[in-house]
Amino acid sequence: MSDSDFTRALKAWHGSPHDFEEFRNEAIGSGEGTEWRGGYGIRGHGHYVAEERKVAESYRDSLTRRRAPPSDHSYMFNGVRNNSSVDGFSDFLGWLYNVRDWERRVKQSKAMIGPSTGEKTKEIVKQQSDELKNALADLHKQAIGLHNTPELMDLSLDQIQHLIDVDNDMRDPYSGGNPELALTISTRRRKEKASRNYRDGIGSADNVRAEHDAAEKAYGVLLPVVQKMEPAKPQQLEGRLYELNLNLGEHELLDWDAPLQDHHDEALSKILNIPEVDDATHFENEDENTHGWESIGGQPKLHPEYSTGQEVYNHLVNETGSAIKASNRLLEHDVKGIRYKDQGSRNFSPADVKVAIDGKPVDTGGKPHYAPNAPEQYAHLLKVTMDGMGMRSLQEASDHYKKIADDWFANPGNGNKDYIYESYRNMADWYEKNKDRVSLQEPKPTYNYVIFDPTAIKIMRKLGMKGETVKDFTDTGVHVKPVSHDPFKE
């Protein structure tokens, strides 16, 4: 397909947390943003792209955030993330505790050496002592160099354990990742444990006081250390936005939301010629005119006018046995993809529907005139009334005001208000005479697409998170084969 074919193309967008330049067809279905049903994207098996840039941007942003590793209140200590697998502070604390506990046990072993101690035991103790010196030397280097905190080497064993508790409490939701609050929590917990043990008959009052004093001392010693902890920013991946051209027309698309009778004539002919669809649209009783699915003899049937594109696709899935085969069957008959309304086009509010006279929208931004006397004012008041009272049509709103006016003049009240109700009567009369000129205009729908034919798609630009162009493909002629959401090379 030549580049000139893409000059008439429909612009589309694809959002992803990944930076890639080539899509892999086998990655269809691996996109994290896809809703799933029966092992395929909820609107078919294919390559998902969006007509609206903001839709693709929302996929890119949400998927990028989802794939970013959670911070779980991690923190930085001297510029290094605490949970780094290589040189993180959390691992250093565990190593420090183990070595210092080893030091305690070596000292106990040395103290037990006497005249009767065998040479083998003395040799083991000496070997452990030498290994301990090397481990302490390595720890000291790391404390000074990597963590810039030589005072860690002067901590007692219970103070190291206290600091490990602080490290754990940094993940506690009560601390919120605040290191000083985590130190306060661990200190309080240590005191409460000592008091609870005393109440349970474990230890004496002197033990409780000693543990409380040790906890307070540890707080004072550790406060300068924890003040070097800084909350770590969550690690984010750099998402990408891809500007695409689709060389597709309505005559090559199955419209997910539309009944078959509203499809392009050429597309309808292609769809009805698919054997599974052709068989399903011949009813046993040709007089039946039921909307949508019809079950006759245990077999699903389609209506050749009223069944929607969604019903056709689901029928093909049932008949062929998989979504992949359903998409391929459509492609075999030159139906290259599905289009479906995006979320914004499905969930517009009544205020998004405009009232128009002779096809020209009426400004309904302000408050309607309480006594309308011109066509634009009539249309404005009827539309606002229809929306505000949950009416189904402008006709219903017009009838509402006609009844109000008729009731007023049947039982007149304050004559000073006659002109208001006369305006209501004139509005109802005007609408009856001009209803063919007045229309409601829904917002123009925007679509997402599920593309079966990858050659119908060309990548034009790759953009970064701030909208900057990362790479321009327009001069390279690079064609891509996009697949649903996140195709990338490992």
293 located within any domain: yes
342 located within any domain: no
Residues 368 and 432 in one domain: yes
Mean pLDDT score of the chain: 81
345 located within any domain: no
Asked whether 308 and 259 are in contact (CB, 8 A), the reply is yes
Q: What is the mean pLDDT of the segment spanning 201-206?
A: 86
Q: Give the whole-angstrom CA distance, residue 7 versus residue 14.
A: 19
What is the H or E stretch that residue 332 is in?
helix 323-332
How many angstroms separate the first and last alpha carbons of the chain?
29
Neighbours of 170 (CB within 10 A): 27
Cα 153 to chain centroid distance, Å, stands at: 46
Residues 106 and 214 in one domain: yes
Residues 89 and 115 in one domain: yes
Q: Give the whole-angstrom CA distance, residue 287 versus residue 300.
A: 17
Tokens representing 75?
A: 């923190």
Angstrom distances, CA of residue 378 to CA of 54, 301, 364, 398, 452: 36, 47, 11, 9, 49
- Band (66; pLDDT cuts 50, 70, 90): low
Predicted pLDDT of residue 50: 94
pLDDT at 40 over 80: no
Residues 197 and 300 in one domain: no
Q: Quote the number of domains for the chain.
A: 4
Q: Give the whole-angstrom CA distance, residue 82 versus residue 93.
A: 10
Residues 463 and 400 in one domain: no
Predicted pLDDT of residue 221: 92
pLDDT at 70 over 80: no
Residues 321 and 293 in one domain: yes
Domain limit, last residue, from 231, 262, 289: 231
Residues 137 and 45 in one domain: no
Residues 207 and 331 in one domain: no
pTM over 0.75: no
Q: Which residue has the higher pLDDT, 89 or 194?
A: 194
pLDDT at 73 over 80: no
341 located within any domain: no
Predicted pLDDT of residue 29: 57
Residues 16 and 95 in one domain: no
Quote the domain boundaries for residue 260.
249-335
Tokens representing 463?
A: 């953009």
- Band (300; pLDDT cuts 50, 70, 90): very low
Predicted pLDDT of residue 41: 58
Residues 104 and 178 in one domain: yes
Lowest mean pLDDT among 6-10, 270-274, 327-331, 372-376: 6-10
Angstrom distances, CA of residue 428 to CA of 69, 102, 407, 435, 441: 63, 95, 14, 10, 21
343 located within any domain: no
Predicted pLDDT of residue 255: 96
Q: Parallel, antiparallel, or unpaired for β 36-37 and 40-41?
A: antiparallel
- Band (145; pLDDT cuts 50, 70, 90): low
Residues 257 and 271 in one domain: yes
Asked whether 356 and 380 are in contact (CB, 8 A), the reply is no
- Band (54; pLDDT cuts 50, 70, 90): very high
Residues 53 and 84 in one domain: no
Domain limit, last residue, from 283, 308, 335: 335
340 located within any domain: no
Predicted pLDDT of residue 147: 55
Q: Give the whole-angstrom CA distance, residue 265 versus residue 119.
A: 100
